[in-house]
Structure 1
């Protein structure tokens, strides 16, 4: 019998000062049985950093041909393809050909090694690559609850995240 995903419900009050985008987002997130909380929260942060109409989570790990997050046009064209993790240059190449814009959010403890090994190939591709702080993703995951209200305020290259009893500042850097 296959394991079922764990469902999380997040209500996020989002203030993106970089883009003058303000919204309250109700997310239902399915955590794949093989997915860590850190990865799930990295997906959540990637969603917040790109929030706009028609942005949605895909089947992700359950469907290898899809990104973690995408935005489709009304005609069905992929406008934005977002992968979370450390995808191969071949996958990033596919993403940049399949979508008008492609982004990668790297986040784990091996992120620096992945970038050193793939930077030359990825720099030839039409995609943005960002690195979220691993230590901060671990801390954010540690206070994640199945149902929670969060406030996310984005300014420059950080996001201030608060929940009922916790707060953290998440940083990222642009690798490409």
Structure 2
């Protein structure tokens, strides 16, 4: 018998001063049985850092990347079905990046493990032909701290200022400084 996804709910109060985006977002996450708390929280972080100011070009949604390899972790589709944003997590190979990048207006990759520098050194020169890809590294220590905030029901405050992100749940706050590797 296959294991089913576990449902998590998060209420995110976002204050992104870098992009002048403020608002409350209620999200439901279907967590795949193989997904860790750390990866799920990185998905929430990627959501907060990429959510659009309005839904005129469609909503940013969680996709089924762990169930369907042709989908990203998150994506935003406009009303015609065209992909506006494609967001992958982890360390996709260069073939996946080169195949996915032309399908969307913008693509972002968020890597969050300590082996990111090794992965990046092997892929960096291969994706320089892309102009719409941005690659970010979330330091492994910070992503592991972020995982401690994971609960089935979460109320998170996310503040972004000068490239630094603070994620808190009312009892603790984690500081995250994503580093842009490319784009």
Aligned to 2:99: 94
**What residue ranges of structure 2 are gaps of 5+ in the alignment?**
none
Aligned to 2:12: 12
**2:63 touches 2:74 (CA, 8 Å); kept in 1?**
yes
Which stretches of structure 1, 4 residues or more, deviate above 6 A after TM superposition?
none
Post-superposition CA distance 1:43-67 (Å, at most 9, x none): 1111100012311011121111001
TM-score norm. by structure 2 comes to 0.93
Aligned to 2:164: 158
1:63-82, aligned counterparts within 5 Å?
63-82=68-87
Does residue 1:111 correspond to 2:110, yes or no? no
The equivalent position to 2:154 in structure 1, one of 140, 144, 148, is 148
Q: Distance in 2 between matches of 1:125 and 1:146?
A: 38
Instruction: Return the offset for 1:143.
Output: 2.6
The equivalent position to 2:173 in structure 1, one of 153, 167, 172, is 167
Q: Distance in 2 between matches of 1:133 and 1:6?
A: 26
Instruction: Return the offset for 1:77.
Output: 0.5
Q: Distance in 2 between matches of 1:164 and 1:5?
A: 27
Q: Distance in 2 between matches of 1:134 and 1:25?
A: 26
Describe the SS at the equivalent of 2:39. helix
TM-score norm. by structure 1 comes to 0.96
**What residue ranges of structure 1 are gaps of 5+ in the alignment?**
none
Q: Distance in 2 between matches of 1:174 and 1:94?
A: 21
How many residues align structurally?
176
